[in-house]
């Protein structure tokens, strides 16, 4: 059984770190605190088998790859285009959006209503010839 950090689990399972934590709370993923060789303790997650699908994040995982994400947990405001992801010292995923804004984390945008897409991000994506959002993909 491979043990990884929350951030690695997020990358391998292609879900946000917030969702990894949610799955741990739900008991869908096994995690425990482990002493680190360099001192202190950190959370490690047991990577589930290939093909694992969490009920909590099924929507997120079944979604076709799409760079448009919410930057807030309550999915308020606008949907932005993620330019890059980095990790904070707390292992949260910190997204930087094309428009220059920085989010708290990322939450999958399962619908992309055109009026909620950040205009600034859309303009930059067009300039950089990045794949455009397809509003409200049929599911
Ligand atoms: Zn934006």
| Strand partners of residue 81 | 68
Whether residue 80 has pLDDT greater than 80: yes
Tens of pLDDT along 11-20? Answer: 788 777 888 8
Cα–Cα distance for residue pair 75/88, rounded to 1 Å: 21
For ligand 1, the distance from its centroid to the CA atom of residue 122, given in whole angstroms, is 8
Query: Cα of 32 to ligand 1 centre, how many Å?
Result: 36
Distance from residue 101's CA to the centre of ligand 1 (Å): 6
Q: How far is the CA of 108 from the centre of ligand 1 (A)?
A: 15
20-74 per-position pLDDT tens digit: 888 888 888 999 988 878 888 888 999 988 777 776 566 555 555 567 888 887 8
pLDDT of residue 4: 92
Instruction: Find the 124 Cα to ligand 1 centroid distance in Å.
Output: 9
Q: Residue 40 has which token pair?
A: 């202190």
Alpha-carbon distances, residue 62 vs 13, 14, 96, 125, 126 (angstroms): 11, 10, 23, 24, 26
What does pTM read for this prediction?
0.50
pLDDT tens across 93-134, in order?
Answer: 678 889 998 887 777 777 778 888 999 998 998 888 877 666
CA of 58 to the centre of ligand 1 (A): 25
| Model pLDDT, residue 63 | 54
Q: How far is the CA of 71 from the centre of ligand 1 (A)?
A: 9
Q: How far is the CA of 118 from the centre of ligand 1 (A)?
A: 5
């Amino acid at each position: 059984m491979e043990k990884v950090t929350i951030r690695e689990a997020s990358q391998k399972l292609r879900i946000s770190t917030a969702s990894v934590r949610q799955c741990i709370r739900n008991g869908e993923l096994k995690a425990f605190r482990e002493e680190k060789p360099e001192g202190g303790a950190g959370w490690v997650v047991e990577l589930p088998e290939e093909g694992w699908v969490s009920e909590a994040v099924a929507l997120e995982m079944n979604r076709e790859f799409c760079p448009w994400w919410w930057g807030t947990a309550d999915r308020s405001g606008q949907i932005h285009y993620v330019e890059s992801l980095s990790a904070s010292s707390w292992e949260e995923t910190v997204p930087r959006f094309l428009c220059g804004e920085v989010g708290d984390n990322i939450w999958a945008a399962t619908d992309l209503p055109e009026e909620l897409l950040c205009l600034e991000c859309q303009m930059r994506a067009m300039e950089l010839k990045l794949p455009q959002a397809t509003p409200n993909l049929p599911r």
